[in-house]
Structure 1
């Protein structure tokens, strides 16, 4: 039986010295407000839409490089962790506060939590278009892509969607804020990494908006543009529909 997550959220984990710049940029990109800080050292906060539940959160790391990690919201994190380990995950930490930290077979950090979440925020409206962060892509070396896709599909219960190499999206349930997609990359990275993707209905206008906010364009492809935020983290703006998450036929 899969863990059947009822919500997904992404954590932007910022390296020491980059938290303020990173949070300011992503708050401006989304149009979301920054919640009051929480945690023993005020290291956590959320980006909150005017309507809808939280699904984007930020963390100030004590050391190491920045990253993005996934939270799967489940009814029983401990039981879900046992299944994840059976499927090939590695247990990192079981917190007395009720969450469990693991890494996937390819090394992607994720957490199993039980915090509530039900209402997906709507796309944000700008002058001429709309956009929404709606996908977490797992960047995995090609040799690990099949196993990684099977792991996430079996863990969540989300079947793979029809796709074109190197992209392997999973079919998310209706109302889920974040899609999951495995991307087979050409380099030999280990552990695997993750990045955020935005859906929008005018990629050129959305890209220009991000550049004004401090992003840099790295590459322009047929259906997506790769950028880096002011902290150097990569992400993508795609042509996918902000409501459905799918490319137009």
Structure 2
């Protein structure tokens, strides 16, 4: 299996790093690990159970999300990524790449993570799980990204609940699903970005209230989702999908 685990990194500027980290620790019932890295810029959000799949990094001028794909053979997967149109940005024991549409991702060695954490219950009773990274793809870049991601991961793609969504079918046990969202023709973005999605099932309103109490701000309501902004300025979505299966509830 080409990809054995997925991690989402919250890349947070220094001025908002602590606030953003504290928020996501509270929202996911996680504990912040000791800082690591040459300047103490990295930390892991340790879940109540299972293996970690959310991390934070102090970097950059604006908050963003990037993805780590854990693979048995980094060099081989990096060569495939380049063949598929990715640009290599940096190489150590891991490889940093940009997808054909400019989204930053890392290929990292398999660290043995296999236990997907369970959904967590909030103070208001709402059950939730961070379970998806949604790639926000400008319309003109969609074909290239739709070709790149299934080939890189080995995960088949299908149309999602709405025609603008393309979902990659992750293997059982992988903590984060990948979804591509086609942006509207009037959207000004020119490179691929990303945001986190949480599956909340019918408790979406209760989860939203809890996140607002933790410091998030309301942005918009959509067709089955609520758009919020965390204290670091990063937009994310609460969805009505089932926290266990990740599927849209009826």
Band the TM-score falls in, shorter-chain normalisation: over 0.9
Match of 1:144 among 137, 141, 144: 141
Indicate which of 104, 129, 148 corresponds to 1:109. 104
Matched, 1:206 2:207: yes
Deviation of 1:146 after TM superposition, in Å, equals 2.2
Match of 2:13 in 1: 15
Alignment of 1:60-209 (within 5 A): 60-61=58-59, 63-95=60-92, 98-114=93-109, 115-126=111-122, 127-163=124-160, 164-186=162-184, 187-201=187-201, 202-209=203-210
Please state how far the C-alpha of 1:161 moved relative to its aligned partner.
2.4
In 2: Cα distance, 1:212 partner to 1:166 partner: 32
SS in 2 for 1:161: strand
Deviation at 1:149? Answer: 1.6
Q: How many angstroms does 1:162 deviate by?
A: 3.4
Structure 1 segments of 4+ aligned residues over 4 angstroms from their partners: none
Mapped partners of 2:33, 2:216: distance in 1: 23
Distance of 2:17 and 2:225 partners within structure 1:
26
TM-score, length-normalised on structure 2? 0.95
- Deviation at 1:116? 2.5
Native 8 Å contact 2:7 2:67 kept in 1: yes
Aligned-partner Cα distance in 2 for 1:116–1:150: 28
Partner residue of 1:35?
A: 33
State whether structure 2 residue 45 is matched by structure 1 residue 47: yes
Match of 2:239 in 1: 238
Cα drift, residue 66 of structure 1: 1.7
SS of residue in 2 equivalent to 1:28: helix
Q: Secondary structure at the match of 2:22?
A: helix
Alignment partners' CA distance in 2, 1:116 and 1:56? 15
How far the C-alpha of 1:230 sits from its partner, in A, is 0.8
- 1:140-191, Cα deviation, whole Å (9 max, x unpaired): 1011112202210011011112322211111111110000000111213122
Q: When the two structures are aligned, how many residues end up with a matched partner?
A: 244
Q: Which runs of 5+ in 1 are unaligned?
A: none
TM norm structure 1: 0.95
* Cα distance in 1 for residues equivalent to 2:155 and 2:77: 15
Structure 2 residue runs without a partner (length 5+): none
Tell me whether 181-190 or 85-94 shows the greater mean CA deviation. Answer: 181-190
Tell me how far apart the structure 2 counterparts of residues 142 and 9 of structure 1 sit (CA, whole Å).
Answer: 26
User: CA-atom RMSD, angstroms?
Assistant: 1.1
Equivalent residue number for residue 24 of structure 1: 22
Deviations 1:39-62 (A, max 9, x none): 11110000011210010000001x
